[in-house]
């Protein structure tokens, strides 16, 4: 079986980061395994499609951390490859960069997008505080290939999302197993995460920024394995029947250096093509 280029990149990223970890002098060891979550397709720490309130990596209040990841989503008519880097400074501020490449075989073209993100922890800790951890995030997105977006009626090739996320991990909450949940509210005008541009040129339909709900839940069947579900609303600015995204995932955390996530995706209609389902795989390394 031919290994996708994106997966080979992911393996290389993880090997390099694992090597750095082994020689680092300040690896954060204070957080529980898996509590930072995994890598999100826009670069933030969280789930696969939803950013969470916790920050990427295992940094504590006295240390910093860095992470690298690559992911692939392969659905009915499209493919999405993402690679990125994340940094967590003193468990207070997260910054990240991601490059998305959206492959459209029917048009024999790729659509690329750069995303610069930041997240600040406003309150709490997902484990130790009584109330959920709350964080405020911002994601600035810029299309590098905007022809398809403009042909479909998008107004802009760049835009900025803001979101507020709340997360909590309940220890031994269900038959002795840990239970996690996250709820996020996003302010956005992005079409399909921004891959189809932002807003709509035809203002007969409203394209003002809208608030969209995002949510995740996970059950840790062991300290190293988690099963979960995610849901993400999205605006339908272009009138193409854009629908909410959903996934059911399994994540493996063999140690604090590496994690692997696989998921079944149901992304609904994309650019008028219905029933976009398939698989997702992500590999992440932590410093």
How far is Cα 130 from Cα 127, in angstroms, rounded to an integer?
A: 8
Is this structure's pTM higher than 0.85?
Answer: yes
72-126 per-position pLDDT tens digit: 999 999 999 999 999 999 999 999 999 999 999 988 999 999 999 999 999 999 9
pLDDT confidence tier of residue 202, bands split at 50, 70 and 90: confident
Helix (H) or strand (E) holding 55: none
Short-list 140, 84, 83, 143, CA closest to 111: 143
Beta strands at 225-232 and 210-222: parallel, antiparallel or unpaired? antiparallel
Short-list 233, 244, 245, 140, CA closest to 185: 233
pLDDT confidence tier of residue 234, bands split at 50, 70 and 90: very high
Q: What CA–CA distances, in Å, run from 106 to 10, 111, 128, 262?
A: 26, 13, 50, 26
Name the 3-class secondary structure at 15: helix
The reported pLDDT for the residue numbered 208 is 74
The reported pLDDT for the residue numbered 100 is 98
Between 11-15, 31-35, 192-196, the lowest mean confidence (pLDDT) is in: 11-15
Burial class, 204, CB count within 10 angstroms (exposed 0-12 / middle 13-18 / buried 19+): exposed
- Indicate the average pLDDT of the chain: 90
The reported pLDDT for the residue numbered 287 is 87
How crowded is residue 29: how many other Cβ atoms within 10 Å of its Cβ? 9
Adjacent-strand bridge partners of 227: 219, 250
């Amino acid at each position: 079986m031919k290994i996708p280029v994106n997966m080979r990149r992911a393996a290389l990223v993880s090997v390099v980061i694992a090597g750095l970890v082994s020689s680092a002098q300040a690896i954060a060891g204070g957080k529980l395994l898996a509590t930072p979550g995994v890598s999100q397709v826009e670069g933030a720490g969280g789930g696969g499609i939803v950013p969470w309130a916790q920050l990427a990596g295992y940094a504590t209040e006295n240390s910093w951390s860095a992470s690298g990841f690559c992911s692939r989503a392969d659905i009915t008519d499209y493919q999405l490859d993402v690679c990125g880097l994340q940094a967590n400074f003193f468990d207070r501020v997260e910054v990240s960069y991601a490059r998305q490449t959206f492959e459209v075989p029917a048009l024999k073209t790729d659509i690329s997008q750069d995303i610069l993100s930041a997240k600040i922890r406003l309150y709490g800790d997902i484990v130790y505080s009584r109330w959920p951890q709350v964080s405020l995030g911002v994601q600035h997105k810029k299309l590098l290939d905007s022809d398809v977006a403009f042909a479909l009626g998008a107004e802009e090739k760049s835009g900025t999302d803001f979101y507020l996320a709340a997360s909590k991990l309940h220890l031994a909450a269900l038959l002795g197993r840990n239970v996690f949940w996250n709820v996020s509210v996003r302010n956005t005008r992005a079409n399909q995460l921004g891959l189809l541009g932002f807003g709509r040129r035809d203002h007969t339909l409203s394209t003002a920024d809208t608030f969209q709900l995002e949510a995740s839940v996970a059950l840790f069947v062991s300290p190293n394995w988690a099963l979960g579900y995610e849901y993400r609303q999205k605006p339908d600015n272009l009138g193409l029947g854009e629908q909410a995204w959903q996934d059911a995932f399994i994540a493996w955390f063999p140690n604090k250096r590496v994690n692997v996530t696989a998921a079944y995706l149901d992304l609904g209609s994309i650019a008028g093509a219905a029933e976009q389902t398939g698989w997702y795989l992500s590999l992440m390394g932590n410093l």
